[in-house]
Amino acid sequence: MTDLAKPAGEHFLSVRDLRIHFDTDDGLVRSVDGVSFDLERGKTLGIVGESGSGKSVTSLGIMGLHRSKRARIAGEIWLDGEELVGADPDRVRQLRGRTMAMIFQDPLTAMHPYYTVGQQIVEAYRVHHPQAKKREARTRAIEMLDRVGIPQPDRRVDDYPHQFSGGMRQRAMIAMALVNDPSLLIADEPTTALDVTVQAQILDLIRDLQQEFGSAVIIITHDLGVVAELADDILVMYGGKPVERGPAATLFEAPEHPYTWGLLGSMPRLDRELQERLVPVKGTPPSLINVPSGCAFHPRCPYAQLTGGRSSSELPVLTEAAPRHHAACHLPSAERHRIFTEEIAPRL
């Protein structure tokens, strides 16, 4: 993420005012409603928000996987100088798996149960290297399994996904995603289903691979702790909209948005007792069909009454709080700093 004033096509990845809405029988679901960010090669962006905030829909949108009749997509997605929202679906298909690849939350749904892990990595490779011989593709699959830390890869390559443990399946999916050296990797909750030790290993692996391959990485999570050490920049989403965006260090040291304060308060910390450390954000996520008026967070925000009624009537827009650091909140900046320093920081 850099200065959004720079033209979109000049960044490696640039998302501009992305909107993805779904026509459903219950009404229009505004899953993603005005998301913008930039990301360069070799950098990591963390997208953070509660369940239903539009994180997965954003990433599937970048991958071009929302081309159903019921999806309405607007805005721009620039990848290496090429705009994808208006692009030919065949072109996006070519890029998917090769230039951009995705790791899903649950490898069991992303991997086919009837094919061996090796067959699936081979297939992912040969789709984009049709001239590659089977033997060469198999060697490549074994290399990749080795690279992601699967023991005895030349033997495990012939196992089926169910013969792998959860952590190993996740590694295999990373191997499959990386087999074509993508320059953009999107990891959607890559560790949620795993226990804490394996989580840390997978995150280390993603970081090592990124350093080795210099790709741009988007890590999606509901847990700020996951991206604390990994992300260069963080985008916080609430109800389909970005509410705060900035360098990770700034966001942790001087967060500007009351929702981010809530997320920080619910972040697991190794140095605290479980009881003490987990304070979830009070209330429930908003409906994306009848989105609350004004700031969508206002029904849950402890500070909404400090804005003279604006919180419930006027949509706050992202404004610059510090260089490259933006937040969407009606509270005056000085007031936010006071609240954070006096009330929030001492409890974190």
Q: Which is nearer to Mg ion, 56 or 183 (CB)?
A: 56
CB of 15 to ligand SF4, least distance (A): 23
CB of 244 to ligand SF4, least distance (A): 10
By the rule CB under 5 A, 31 interacts with Mg ion:
no
* 237, 305 Cβ separation under 8 angstroms: no
Alpha-carbon span 266 to 348, nearest angstrom: 9
Of 292, 286, 290, 285, the C-alpha closest to 24 is 290
User: What residue ranges bind ligand SF4 (CB under 6 A)?
Assistant: 257-258, 295, 297-298, 301, 303-304, 307, 311, 316, 329-331
Q: Which three-class secondary structure state does DSSP give residue 37? A: strand
Q: Which is nearer to ligand ATP, 23 or 229 (CB)?
A: 23
Q: Which is nearer to ligand ATP, 35 or 117 (CB)?
A: 35
* 242, 236 Cβ separation under 8 angstroms: yes
CB of 36 to ligand ATP, least distance (A): 17
Question: Angle at which helices 117-128 and 166-178 pack, to 10 degrees?
Answer: 20
Task: Report the partner that residue 298 touches, choosing among ligand SF4, ligand ATP, Mg ion, none (CB closer than 5 to 8 A by kind).
Answer: ligand SF4
CB of 316 to ligand SF4, least distance (A): 5
By the rule CB under 5 A, 53 interacts with Mg ion:
no
CB of 75 to ligand SF4, least distance (A): 23
Q: Which is nearer to Mg ion, 31 or 56 (CB)?
A: 56
Residue 279 contacts by C-beta under 8 Å, 6 or more apart in sequence? 265, 266
By the rule CB under 5 A, 56 interacts with Mg ion:
yes
CB of 71 to ligand ATP, least distance (A): 7
Q: Rounded to 5 degrees, what are φ and ψ at 313?
A: -120, -20
User: What residue ranges bind ligand ATP (CB under 6 A)?
Assistant: 22, 24, 29, 31, 49, 51-57, 222, 288
**Which H helix or E strand runs over 138?**
helix 134-147
* 113, 160 Cβ separation under 8 angstroms: yes
CA torsion sign for 227, 232, 237, 240 is: negative
Q: Which is nearer to ligand SF4, 73 or 236 (CB)?
A: 236
Using CB under 5 A as the criterion, which residues of the chain lie in contact with Mg ion when the complex forms? Answer: 56
